[in-house]
Amino acid sequence: MPLDPKIADRLKRDPGGLVPAVVQQHDTGEVLMLAWMDDEALHRTLTTGRATYWSRSRRSYWVKGETSGHVQWVRHVALDCDGDTILLKVDQVGAACHTGDRTCFDADVLPVSP
């Protein structure tokens, strides 16, 4: 079953048919990661409650935590005002980053001049 056309019609995809998905911890607002979704990944996410993404490097779908056990239970999904970004609020179990860090933004903090 495809993605609901009412949702699909609102998405603005890149030339590869993908939309970035910002992933946030649902109760703290902590930004965990950025991933990519196409219509099928979004459909799977909405219908299973498990975060499913499209891997640009492997060119395949992956369910977060399927092999690592670091599952993302989806609590809320929204589109931004332009329909070109998806926000997933999840209950993250374990590390969100493939490096083992809690978030993908922990390891490389850049200096900011005041």
Give the residue ranges of the annotated binding site.
Answer: 80-82, 84, 97, 104
Annotated binding-site residues for Zn(2+) read: 81, 97, 104
Residue 14, class by beta-carbon neighbours within 10 Å (0-12 exposed, 13-18 middle, 19+ buried)? exposed
> What CA–CA distance (Å, rounded) separates 4 from 21?
18
Annotated binding-site residues for Mg(2+) read: 80, 82, 84
